[in-house]
Amino acid sequence: MAKTYDYLFKLLLIGDSGVGKTCVLFRFSEDAFNSTFISTIGIDFKIRTIELDGKKIKLQIWDTAGQERFRTITTAYYRGAMGIMLVYDITNEKSFENIKNWIRNIEEVHSGPNINSSTYVLPIKSLYGIMYRFKIQTLLIQHASADVEKMVLGNKCDINDKRQVSKEMGEKLALEYGIKFMETSAKSNINVENAFLTLARDIKSKMDTKLVKMISSSCGSFYAMFLSFSSLWKTVQQMTVF
C-alpha cells in the first residue's frame, strides 16, 4: 500500500501528572475536551495527519504518564522522538519548577545518538549523455538532546484567577534553554493547534536543511569522482588512437 504521507514525526508530551497533557492531546487529535480523564497509565498515543508547505505530515503523538512509578516505561519512548512538548500547569508552581527536571531527564536519555539511515536516489546526467542513478546514503542522528525540537507549554491558561506561574516566568525559562514557549488551554482551545503546527514546522525545517546539506555534500563527492573518471576515460581514448 502506498504511503499517504510525506513525513512521519514522532512527538512526545511530558510533564508532571495532572498538568493536562492528555487533554491537550485530545483537543488536538479529536478537537474535543473531556474533564473526566483519569491519569495516564504508562503511555498512550494518537495520530493526526496535517499539511505544511504542500506536504502531508503524519504526527504520531505519545502521551506519557507523569508519575514517578512509570518513569522507566515512559523514558524508553524518548529515543527517536523528533519533538518534545514539556507541559506544566500555570496553577501549579511545582509542576513549573519540575520542567527543569524533565529537561534534564531528556538530556540523560539522549546522551548517545540513535542512528537511522535513509537512501535518496538522484538521477544525474553526465557530459556523455549517460544517466546515472546516484544513491546518497544519509545518516540521520535521532537524536542527541541538542537535536530534538522542544517546546514549553504553560497549560490551563483559562484559569487565570488561580494562576501561580506568570507568563513572563514561562518565557524566561524557555529563553534560558533556547526553546519556544506558549501558554495553552485545552478546555478553551487556546493555542493548542498553533503549538503542534509550530513544532511540526520547526522539525520539518530542520530536516529539510539537513537534507539539502547532505545532498550537497554527497553531490560534491560524486562530482570529484566523476571528474576523475572523465580524465581517466580521455586518457584511455588517447591511448587507443593510432
pLDDT at 116 over 70: no
Residue 137, domain CATH: 3.40.50.300
Confidence label for 240 from pLDDT (cuts 50, 70 and 90): low
How far apart (Å, rounded) are the C-alpha atoms in residues 23 and 19? 9
Q: Is 220 within the bounds of a domain?
A: no
Do the domain assignments include residue 234? no
Between 208 and 141, residue with greater pLDDT: 208
Please indicate whether residue 140 or residue 21 has the higher confidence score (pLDDT): 21
Number of domains observed in the structure of the chain: 1
For residue 241, being part of any structural domain is answered with no
Is the pLDDT score of 197 beyond 80? Answer: yes
Q: What is the structure's pLDDT at 80? A: 81
Tens of pLDDT, residues 2-48: 678 899 999 999 999 999 999 999 999 999 988 766 555 557 889 99
**Is the confidence at residue 157, as pLDDT, over 70?**
yes
Q: Measured at the alpha carbon of residue 241, what is the angle toward residues 236 and 242, in degrees to the nearest 5?
A: 140
pLDDT band at 227 (very low <50, low <70, confident <90, very high): low
| Residues of the domain holding 54 | 7-112+122-214
Residue 180 lies in a domain: yes
**More confidently predicted of 67 and 165:** 165
Closest CA to 82 of 103, 64, 104, 62: 62
Nearest to 72 by CA among 22, 17, 20, 109: 109
- Is 235 contained in some domain? no
In the predicted model, what is the mean pLDDT of the chain?
78
> Is the pTM of the predicted complex or chain greater than 0.85?
no
153 assigned to some structural domain = yes
Residue 225 falls inside a structural domain: no
Tell me whether residue 223 is in a domain: no
Q: Please state, in angstroms and as integers, the Cα–Cα distance from residue 222 to each residue in 135, 172, 208, 229, following that order.
A: 10, 47, 21, 10
- Compare 69 and 155 and report the one with higher pLDDT: 155
